Amino acid sequence: MATDQVLTGSAPAGEGSLGAQAAEAAAPKRAQISRLPSLTGLRFLAALAVFAAHAFIPIPSLRLLADDRTEFRLFHWFDQAGGPAVSFFFVLSGFVLAWSARDNDTTTGFWRRRFVKIYPTYVVAWVLAMVLFAQDFTSTRIAVANLFMVQVWVPEYYTNFSVDPPSWSLGVEAVFYLSFPLLLAVFRRIDPRHLKYWITGAIAAVWATPAVAYAAFPKTPLVPSGQDLPATAYWFNYVLPPVRVVDFALGILVALAVKHGRWRNIGMIPSFLLLAGGYWLTYHLPAFYGQRATMIIPIVLLIAAAATADIEGRFTPFRNRTMVWLGEISFAFYLLHYIVLARLRKELGTEMYSTTEGMAMLAGAALGTVVLSWLLHRLVETPLVRRFSRSRRAARAKAVA
């Protein structure tokens, strides 16, 4: 299949321009009737991939397994899962926000909803991390930087991944949310027939970033995680918000292409197969490419395929009640899982465990995180969103109407 067809959804053979026009005319109606629950379900799988990546990091503050061979084998299997999962979240964020964007929305209204949905939960996780383990080794400067989501702007590994380490990505997402109204306004002006060029350019930019990181930044110092990676280049390739905004913009562009009927869907099974192939490729290219690039096309194809399946009412295993519920609490799960793992290790002291015992503990940690995530979602995120997601003036106007 030609790249032009895969990326743009140019009219299938035999449809001609009338078919494309009909697809474009029907797309807004389809967008209105579908909330894309399969994408919600997929969010939990991505969060679980991040859990697995952290669960087997062989460092004293997390490691549970006594057997070195098993520990390092599992670490090797899941080490590369975290980076692509974060890329999935970034692309998905752009896609979902563009898909659900309201024509009559205001910039301040959008920012209010994002703030209310994200920041209170983030603060609760920050407090829990500080109280349960991070206060032992976190300076006031770094703690405050994390509280205000600016830790990602400093090219220091221990600042970027401090307090609650996974929360760095929320500092990046905050930049996405601030830029979204402008990006959407610009991208909506693109002729739908030209979206394919923008999408291709965004993918090329993602692939170019690791090359720039390797070529333009000093080879030392290295990141202190034991990986043979230059630290400043690592920050540039993986953390720096203006660089990662390309992932987010790609999601917006793909959503617009799907809405306008300019996307050739390859289906979920082929997308998952390509995802597996991309993950295999992460182990055969330099590390920075595995973090950002090797799975970006499969991620885009999978998101678009799941959205299309929901639009067309076709079965997916991610649209059932359980998967959607897990997806709804996945934001809290993402923020809490490292806290649970680190606190568990701290409570257990220095004792190491057999593979069976350790895996049972990790399964229990995952289930415990699910329960805590449900509580955080139910007691903090949901009531605050209901109460504060719109201004009092807008709420009164709706009540009167």
Say what the pLDDT of residue 151 is.
97
DSSP assignment string, 346-386: HHHTT--B-HHHHHHHHHHHHHHHHHHHHHHIIIIIHHHHH
**What backbone torsions phi and psi does residue 154 show, to the nearest 5 degrees?**
-105, 125
Say what the pLDDT of residue 12 is.
34
Q: How far apart are CA 391 and CA 401, in angstroms?
A: 15
Say what the pLDDT of residue 390 is.
78
Which residue intervals of 14-106 are DSSP H helices? 16-33, 37-55, 68-78, 82-100
Q: Which amino acid is at 85?
A: A
Say what the pLDDT of residue 2 is.
37
Dihedral angle sign, alpha carbons of residues 187, 193, 196, 197 = negative
**Residue 192: how many CA atoms within 13 Å on its side-chain side?**
18
Q: Mark the ranges of the chain whose per-residue pLDDT is less than 50.
A: 1-33, 397, 399-401
Q: How far apart are CA 314 and CA 268, in angstroms?
A: 11
State if pTM tops 0.75.
yes
Say what the pLDDT of residue 27 is.
47
Number of neighbours of residue 392 by Cβ within 10 angstroms: 8
pLDDT in tens, 287-306: 999 999 999 999 999 999 99
128-152 burial, b at 16+ Cβ within 10 Å, e below that, comes to bbbebbbeeebeeebbebbeebebb
Q: How far apart are CA 294 and CA 275, in angstroms?
A: 9
The answer to whether the CB of 178 falls within 8 A of the CB of 111 is yes
Residues 6+ apart with CB under 8 A from 61: 133, 342, 345, 346
Say what the pLDDT of residue 395 is.
55
Say what the pLDDT of residue 103 is.
86
Judged by DSSP in three states, 65 sits in strand
